[in-house]
């Protein structure tokens, strides 16, 4: 009988050791590996794909729900969530099941090792049941484009030139650290910036506040009708799309609900398309580290509308997915290292801080 190949992804060394030991003890299960975070998991999955993944939620570099969604989008695989956040009826549990998890196990905050040992039979049974699940049909859903939020650009509707300039940045996995490098390197006087960082709801306000405390420029979570002005960076709120709108020669943020685009909300493609329409050649588009292809189509629209476009290079990316896709589509005018992006922003508009 073929053994079920299992991967354990959890940042706790104790949990990894205990889970792997309990599962491996069953003759019907083979533990391929036990790793500390999703990025390490992705590296291992390049050579051998598991039949079942046992996945934590709170982990460094990428959270479990984001990883789950990417798995279900790219190669649907049975996933069992095992987390202290996954209480019955809790928001995290609902998000996990909606994203395609086949089962949810709640770990206690204390006495985890004893709990796992006591729950050995249930854990093994859950993994074996998960291996039989037909997750392909759970993962089949329309992958919306930016058309679901705003219509495509028709011609060059933006003013040919204005004194107001704007920079649009899109990033995902590894982006929180990358944005810190870029924004802390900018002088107090620089073009207005609009940013989409793939991040769960309720995390973006705290993230923006932290950046604001360490940057020369002002940083805040975007609110509807915020003016995009020099020396200010607006970060899209989690769970909402961020668009750039123009009134006369001035730019404003528009924060809207809407369907997932490229399985994300906020979506980089939505922001970039709105910048192409509203700012055209008065904009600079920057696509940075991240998994998937969100932003590639929008950056091409920006370039076709006359904007300058820059991508982070592979060597400095945590995940060279979004920039790579943009390069392959011909959307990128220039590729630079992470520590050179701030200089590109300054040089683009000859801003002196």
Q: What angle do CA 54, 57, 59 make, to 5 degrees?
A: 105
**Burial class, 202, CB count within 10 angstroms (exposed 0-12 / middle 13-18 / buried 19+):** exposed
- Would you say 31 and 23 are in contact if contact means Cβ atoms under 8 Å apart? yes
Closest by CA position to 168, among listed 9, 346, 310: 310
Alpha-carbon gap, residue 287 to 299, rounded angstroms: 8
Alpha-carbon gap, residue 20 to 8, rounded angstroms: 7
41: left (phi over 0), alpha (psi -120 to 50) or beta: alpha
Q: What is residue 187's three-state secondary structure? A: coil
DSSP code per residue over 42-78: HHHHTT---SEEEE-SS-SSS-HHHHHHHHHHHS---
* 198 catalytic per annotation: yes
Q: What is residue 125's three-state secondary structure? A: helix
Active-site option among 37, 51, 83, 198: 198
Alpha-carbon gap, residue 353 to 297, rounded angstroms: 32
State the DSSP H helix or E strand holding residue 37, giving kind and residue range, or none if neither. none
**Burial class, 84, CB count within 10 angstroms (exposed 0-12 / middle 13-18 / buried 19+):** middle
* 294 catalytic per annotation: yes
Active-site option among 37, 226, 293, 294: 294
* 267 catalytic per annotation: no
Phi, psi of 242 (to 5 degrees): -115, 125
Phi, psi of 94 (to 5 degrees): -65, -40
Active-site option among 10, 26, 83, 172: 172
Alpha-carbon gap, residue 134 to 114, rounded angstroms: 32
The residues assigned a catalytic role are: 172, 198, 294
């Amino acid at each position: 009988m073929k053994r079920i190949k299992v991967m354990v992804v959890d940042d706790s060394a104790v949990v990894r050791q205990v889970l792997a030991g309990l599962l491996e003890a069953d003759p019907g299960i083979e533990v391929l590996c036990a790793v500390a975070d999703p990025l390490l998991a992705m590296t291992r999955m390049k050579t051998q794909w598991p039949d079942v993944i046992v996945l934590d939620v709170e982990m460094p570099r990428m959270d479990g729900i984001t990883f789950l969604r990417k798995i279900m989008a790219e190669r649907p695989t049975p996933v069992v969530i095992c987390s202290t956040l996954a209480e019955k009826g809790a928001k995290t549990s609902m998000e996990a099941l909606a994203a395609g998890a086949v089962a949810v196990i709640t770990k206690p905050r204390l006495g985890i090792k004893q709990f796992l040992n006591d729950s050995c039979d249930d854990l093994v049974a859950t993994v074996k049941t998960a291996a039989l699940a037909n997750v392909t049909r759970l993962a089949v859903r329309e992958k919306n484009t930016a058309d679901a939020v705003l219509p495509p650009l028709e011609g060059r509707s933006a003013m040919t030139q204005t004194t107001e300039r704007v920079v649009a940045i899109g990033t995902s996995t590894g982006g929180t650290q990358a944005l810190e490098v870029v924004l802390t390197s900018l002088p107090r006087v620089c073009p207005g910036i609009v940013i989409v960082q793939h991040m769960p709801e309720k995390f973006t306000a705290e993230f923006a506040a932290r950046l604001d405390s360490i940057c020369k420029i002002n940083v805040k979570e975007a609110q509807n009708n915020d003016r995009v002005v020099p020396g200010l960076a607006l970060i899209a709120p989690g769970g909402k799309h961020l668009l750039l709108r123009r009134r006369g020669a001035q730019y404003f943020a528009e924060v809207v609900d809407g369907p997932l685009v490229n399985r994300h909300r906020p979506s980089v493609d939505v922001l970039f398309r709105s910048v192409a329409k509203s700012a055209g050649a008065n904009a600079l588009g920057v696509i940075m580290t991240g998994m998937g292809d969100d932003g590639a189509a929008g950056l091409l629209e920006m370039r076709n509308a006359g904007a300058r476009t820059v991508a982070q290079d592979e060597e400095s990316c945590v995940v060279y997915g979004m920039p790579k896709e943009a390069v392959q589509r011909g959307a990128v005018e220039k590729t630079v290292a992470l520590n050179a992006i701030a200089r590109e922003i300054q040089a683009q508009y000859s801003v002196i801080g």
